[in-house]
Structure 1
Amino acid sequence: MASIKQRDDGVWRARYRDAAGKEYARHFPLKRDAQRWLDEVAAAVVTGQYVDPNAGKVTWTDWTKAWMQRQTWVDGTHEAATVAVSSVPWKAGPIGAVNASHVQAWIAAELKRGLAPSTIKTRLNYVQMAFRAAVADRTIAISPAAGIKPPRARKAEATMRVLSAAEVHEVLEVAGEFRGFVEVCVFAGMRLGEAAGLQLADVNFLGRSIRVNRQVQGSTIKAAKLVPPKYNSERTIYVPGELTASLSAHVARNLVTEPDEQLFTTPLGRMWNRNSAAGEWRRIRDEVGLPDDVTLHTLRHTFASNLIASGCDVVTVQRALGHSTPSITLNVYSHLWPSAEDKTRAATADFMALTATAIPRERVSS
């Protein structure tokens, strides 16, 4: 039900009632403007895009808190989302008052204060997810973050660091009892949390393989806990006998006997967590003299780089790293695979070498 009526002061009052019988009204100086507004409301109702004007008055903080409580995320994802939605400057205001310029200004401010483009991209992704959910929930009509692009990040080939054989040797020499942890990262490509979550039963010493069944999640002693690995990251990694022999020596030295016992623990017998493992790595890195951008994750890049340099195809590398799809592997490591130009040169060089050493054919006289 809708109507337009002119008041005594000449202003046109347009009003309508929604499906619940609640009345909404706006005032316009011209009748045609009032009619246009009612037409827009009617069109939104017909197309299923109608949104209660009062729905967008809920604050961003209240709405995102309720939205996140409905998600079936693991703790790490929930923590990342919380940080993202709490970093915006409009968190105390109504969600319906946010526009595209607010989102763009937030991204520019985050970049100006030194936040990495990759971090901004992750935060923007969660903010866009929240706005899309608000649209689907009929809290707002459109997402102000739709189409907003994160700042450009440097190409992987310009930022990715891999260690040389000599650097890995130096690292292992000073690693001490953290050596086994480092070895499964650099020689099996395991993530920090996966290495921290390894138990004795996960290592098949005779079969020369390691099974990734869990990971340690959490950055502190209090928060650290064992959880399933990242989605599609459960896998068996086939490793050389030299690695299983080194791990066997570690097991004997540290008296690890129970199948469900942690393979690696801190000097105090606790599970390694993100902060403690990173701290131990910084000690090793500083002692060797490696730059600050070399992290424990650099060891995983080094593992992948070695597989690619040895001629492994993308699916083999994907499975070893525990990526859910080959496209993820290619997005991260495509620059390490030989290009078509490289393959052409190498193939022709091999052929040239063969021609240079070929034994001339015996001529047949006519």
Structure 2
Amino acid sequence: MTISKTPSGRWRVRVKSGRAKVADRTFDLKRDAEAWQASQKRALDLGEYVDPRAGKELLGVALDRWHAGREGSIASSTFTNEGYALKHAQTLRSRPMSAVTTTDLNALYMTMLRTLGRDTVVRFRQTLSAFFAWAVDHKLIAKNPVTGSKVPAGTAQRERREIFPLTLEELRAVHERLLDTTTKANADIALVLGLTGMRWGELVSLRVRDVQQLPYPALRVSRSKPDGEPVRNITKGGKPRTVPLTDDAAAIILPLLTARKPDDLVFPSATGSFRSGNNWKRDAHWTAHGMGRRVQDLRHTAATLWLQSGVDLKTVQAWLGHSTAKLTADTYSHYMGSDADTAAIARMNAVLSAAPQRPPRMTKRQSR
């Protein structure tokens, strides 16, 4: 790495890696040349050097290249959703990657929030951050501009789909209804989903080897099979989890393991393959007997039953496979009673029941 003076009186810095020249730049002032030389030397020594020419690739070209390379490595629904999210970067696509700044991104978020819900903008930011992290790893840019950006609170509202869990009595009633109208296997699936909190794809991909009986009956949930997609050796939460079985769930699952091989499915279809969610809902007459709930509400049912039974929040987070306890709390906070709530309600009921009952006040017309 050298600094030399040009015939015009300017200062040129040549950056070399070994014997190969990887970059050069000219400055009016020697101190600016020396500062840039020092920064480039430090980046080379730390393995963080990025060719200054790399960031000239247009953002749109690099985005398309990155997104196309992810097809097949992520769920098809995730791949499709990423494609939709990246359309919001249209105004930045013609810029060189190195020219996209945190300020640009913050301005884009504000524009999006005029018409879109904040959750949508947050997902866009997450997708864009994954792209720029990839670009940094591939030495296309020096740093991720999304890291310093922030999505402010927006004014646009997006309708949120409320969770609608069953009570334990309702869950048992649904199970009884299904026993009267479909096969026992179909009916038992509803009860297992409502007691274990598994997603549909996790239940249908469950193998005999995934059921443990020591030190207590439990399920090792480590893969998923969404309808119409291949088996994924990873759950939506990104890592395996263990879900203990209640006596009711164990009484259904453990007898199914008899005379089966370790890789056999616990809940196979009639042909021995993976079950289809749509076929199960049709065969079980779920629309007629599910009390207006979605199949996903059976997962919410398990979560609320755990919380209302006194299971602590961190344990429920682990059993559900949520990434953080905050996500669990945000989803189920209005179903989480506390000892303080219970005591306060008991005091109020005691006060109200002890208060003297006043006779109804009579009007002048009634007193005549």
TM range (shorter): 0.5 to 0.7
Q: Which residue of 2 aligns with 1:45?
A: 40
Is contact 1:208-1:240 (8 Å) kept? no
Cα separation, 1, equivalents of 2:199 and 2:219: 13
Residue 263 of structure 1 aligns with an amino acid whose one-letter code is: V
Cα separation, 2, equivalents of 1:200 and 1:141: 48
Is contact 1:60-1:92 (8 Å) kept? no
- Report SS of the residue matched to 2:40: helix
Cα separation, 2, equivalents of 1:126 and 1:51: 23
Residue 265 of structure 2 aligns with an amino acid whose one-letter code is: Q
Is contact 1:200-1:260 (8 Å) kept? yes
> How far 1:120 sits from its partner (Å)?
4.8
Cα separation, 2, equivalents of 1:79 and 1:137: 26
Q: Which residue of 2 aligns with 1:129?
A: 130
Q: Which residue of 1 aligns with 2:164?
A: 162
Q: Which residue of 1 aligns with 2:150?
A: 149
TM (norm. structure 2) is 0.65
> How far 1:6 sits from its partner (Å)?
7.6
> How far 1:134 sits from its partner (Å)?
3.4
Cα separation, 1, equivalents of 2:282 and 2:203: 17
Is contact 1:200-1:256 (8 Å) kept? no
Q: Which residue of 2 aligns with 1:238?
A: 245
Cα separation, 1, equivalents of 2:23 and 2:216: 72
Superposed, 1:310-329 pairs within 5 Å as 310-323=309-322, 326=325, 329=328
Match of 1:176 among 176, 182, 193: 182
> How far 1:60 sits from its partner (Å)?
1.7
Is contact 1:81-1:126 (8 Å) kept? no
> Alpha carbons of 1:286 and 1:77: their partners in 2 closer, same or farther (altered >3 Å)?
closer
Is contact 2:26-2:33 (8 Å) kept? no
- Could you tell me the percent identity over the aligned residues? 23
Q: Which residue of 2 aligns with 1:227?
A: 233
> How far 1:148 sits from its partner (Å)?
2.6
> How far 1:195 sits from its partner (Å)?
0.8
Cα separation, 2, equivalents of 1:113 and 1:262: 46
Superposed, 1:1-366 pairs within 5 Å as 1-3=2-4, 15-20=12-17, 21-25=21-25, 31=28, 38=33, 41-42=36-37, 44-45=39-40, 48=43, 51-58=50-57, 59-61=61-63, 64=66, 75-76=73-74, 80=78, 84=82, 87=86, 88-89=89-90, 94-100=96-102, 103-104=105-106, 117-118=118-119, 120-135=121-136, 138-150=139-151, 160-165=162-167, 168=171, 171-172=174-175, 173-174=177-178, 176-177=182-183, 178-200=186-208, 202=210, 209-220=217-228, 223-225=229-231, 227=233, 229=235, 231-241=238-248, 243-247=249-253, 251=256, 257-272=260-275, 276-277=276-277, 280-281=280-281, 286-288=287-289, 295-323=294-322, 326=325, 329-339=328-338, 341-346=340-345, 348=347
Task: After superposition, give the CA deviation of every residue in 1:79-125 in whole Å (9 maximum; x if it has no partner).
Answer: 847853782546687432433465457657877886x7546534532
> How far 1:54 sits from its partner (Å)?
0.6
- Report SS of the residue matched to 2:36: helix
Cα separation, 2, equivalents of 1:57 and 1:282: 54
Cα separation, 2, equivalents of 1:107 and 1:301: 32
Cα separation, 2, equivalents of 1:261 and 1:315: 32
Alignment: residue pair count: 329
> How far 1:271 sits from its partner (Å)?
0.7
Is contact 1:256-1:263 (8 Å) kept? no
- Report SS of the residue matched to 2:16: coil
Cα separation, 2, equivalents of 1:278 and 1:133: 37
- Report SS of the residue matched to 2:129: helix
Residue 193 of structure 2 aligns with an amino acid whose one-letter code is: C
Task: After superposition, give the CA deviation of every residue in 1:265-284 in whole Å (9 maximum; x if it has no partner).
Answer: 34554313xxx425744895
Cα separation, 2, equivalents of 1:159 and 1:218: 20
Q: Which residue of 1 aligns with 2:358?
A: none
Is contact 2:13-2:37 (8 Å) kept? no
Is contact 1:216-1:225 (8 Å) kept? yes
TM (norm. structure 1) is 0.65
Is contact 2:15-2:40 (8 Å) kept? no
Task: After superposition, give the CA deviation of every residue in 1:45-69 in whole Å (9 maximum; x if it has no partner).
Answer: 3653764211213442477379979
Superposition RMSD in Å = 5.0
Is contact 1:181-1:196 (8 Å) kept? no
Is contact 2:206-2:267 (8 Å) kept? yes
> How far 1:233 sits from its partner (Å)?
3.1
Cα separation, 1, equivalents of 2:312 and 2:277: 31
Task: After superposition, give the CA deviation of every residue in 1:306-337 in whole Å (9 maximum; x if it has no partner).
Answer: 11112222244244334566555445434432
